[in-house]
Amino acid sequence: MKSKIQFINEKIKKDFDKLKDSDFKMHYFIERAIKDIEENVFCGIQIPKKLIPKEYSQKYGARNLWKYNLPDAWRLLYSIRGQNLVIFSLILEWLDHKEYEKRFKY
């Protein structure tokens, strides 16, 4: 199922744009992930609802959370929302494995 990609807020979008100059490799990996998610909204791994950090549900209203594994143990986290028969994938953030484990209290 196809989706339209949006960043959850302007700061995340700007951080992504800055990667083009500071970390081109990571920018490329995230760009590739975005294309995959656009083509198949369910290509990531769904995080069980009971494991969704409260920060995501409180700050972003995320009722579901998906993880897309990036190279070098980085993770891209996104949420799916439907509106008027259009599916949106909202990019929440990307983080390295250590930060991911900390966020999810593993």
State the pTM of this model. 0.90
Helix pair 24-39, 10-22: axis angle to 10 deg: 130
Could you tell me the CATH number of the domain that includes residue 73? 3.30.2310
Paired tokens of 15: 């951080």
Provide the pLDDT for residue 83: 77
pLDDT of residue 84: 67
Quick one: pLDDT at residue 58?
94
pLDDT reported for residue 63? 93
Residue 90: CB atoms within 10 A of its CB come to: 21
Domain count, the chain: 1
Instruction: Give the structural domain span for 61.
Output: 4-103
Q: What is the pLDDT of residue 86?
A: 81
Q: pLDDT of the chain along its 106 residues, tens only?
A: 889 999 999 999 999 999 999 999 999 999 999 999 999 999 999 999 999 999 999 999 999 999 999 999 999 999 999 876 689 999 999 999 999 999 988 8
